[in-house]
Amino acid sequence: MENKLDISVVIPLYNEVESLPELHDWIHKVMTENSYAYEIIFIDDGSKDGSWDLIEEINNKNKAVRGIKFQRNYGKSAALQKGFEAANGDVVITMDADLQDSPDEIPELFKMIKEEDFDLVSGWKKKRYDPITKTIPTKLYNWAARRLTGIYLHDFNCGLKAYKKVVVKSVELYGDMHRYIPALAKYAGFNHIGEKVVQHQSRKYGTTKFGLNRFLNGPLDLLTVVFMGKFGKKPMHFFGAIGTLMFLIGFGFALYLGIDKLFIDKTARLLAERTEFFVALVAMIIGVQFFLAGFIAEIIGRNSSTRNVYLVEKEC
């Protein structure tokens, strides 16, 4: 029978060979000082700098360390998803591998999950060591996320988070959905979501792995998460409602034009010569298309089950 683990630390990484030894030693020190039964799961997202060789070396010295290596670079969401599937601890902690997240925050995060019964606790980097070109878009993004999800967090994208085990086993990540795990957890029924101010450290090694595309992908993914959370299981409620409304508006307008021509003003222009008639016709056509889109989405949703497959090259 396996020993019960208190904490699983899930760390996605891509070309972070310089920071891994220091990060491992720091986490090990915190766990030892607090007498936690733990595991560290490094997910190598297709690194090319020797990160995997170092993970294997650390694994040989510390069997609490596990490693998963992807065949290629899939992205942070894929790495976290695989780490969540592998995690065995009662509390799952996620953090980045660049040493900007402090392992010293782990005991307090663990306490908030175990003693205060939070389902999820998100870190808040209140004082950041990032350039203004990153902080201003981040503030706008967090404001939009709060408004659309109804979850009042200051820093949705903070990599340092703590979860109950049942939470990470209940969410599925794909694309760039790692930014919205709190929203995914909420839509899965986990509403006790907390926040903790955490220390943010300046990057010590290497460079950031995130480009400008995150400023476009982030808002699009946010809309996807909100839509899937509210209508993912009932798309007809969204498309059908819009389609029905559009059709009724168009039909009502066309009916009015017909009555006006037949009974009120028989000398009026033919319907085919009136712009209003074509507006009504387009509204009805669009309404039918929305309705059919919802109907087809319902059929697809009820008859298919998809799950992303990530090719793992090695494990240790």
| 3-state SS record for 16-55 | CCCCHHHHHHHHHHHHHHCCCCEEEEEEECCCCCCHHHHH
Is 245 part of any domain?
Answer: yes
State whether 81 and 176 are in the same domain. yes
Q: Which range of residues forms the domain containing residue 63? A: 7-231
State whether 177 and 252 are in the same domain. no
Nearest CA-CA partner of 170 in 157, 182, 155, 153: 182
State whether 73 and 30 are in the same domain. yes
Q: Which of 231, 251, 286 is the last residue of a domain?
A: 231
State whether 92 and 175 are in the same domain. yes
CA atoms of 286 and 284, how far apart (whole Å): 5
State whether 14 and 54 are in the same domain. yes
State whether 26 and 166 are in the same domain. yes
Instruction: Count Cα atoms within 13 angstroms, Cβ side, for 83.
Output: 31
Q: Which of 190, 208, 231 is the last residue of a domain?
A: 231
Kindly give the confidence (pLDDT) of every residue in the chain, 316 residues in length, as a single tens digit, with 9 standing for 90 and above.
356 899 999 999 999 999 999 999 999 999 999 999 999 999 999 999 889 999 999 999 999 999 999 999 999 999 999 999 999 999 999 999 999 999 999 999 999 999 999 999 999 988 776 666 666 777 888 888 898 888 999 988 899 999 999 999 999 887 778 888 999 999 889 999 999 999 887 777 766 656 556 666 777 777 777 887 778 778 888 898 999 999 999 999 999 988 888 888 877 778 778 888 899 999 999 999 999 998 888 787 666 655 566 678 778 8
- In this structure, what token pair is assigned to residue 166? 């049942």
Is 1 part of any domain?
Answer: no
State whether 264 and 127 are in the same domain. no
Exposure string of 215-243, with b = 16+ CB inside 10 Å and e = fewer, is eebbbebbebbbebbebeeebbebbbebb
CA atoms of 187 and 226, how far apart (whole Å): 9
State whether 80 and 202 are in the same domain. yes
- Residue type, position 296, single letter: I
CA atoms of 258 and 3, how far apart (whole Å): 78
State whether 117 and 161 are in the same domain. yes
Domain count, the chain: 2
Is 308 part of any domain?
Answer: no
Four-CA torsion 61, 67, 73, 77, nearest 10 degrees: -130
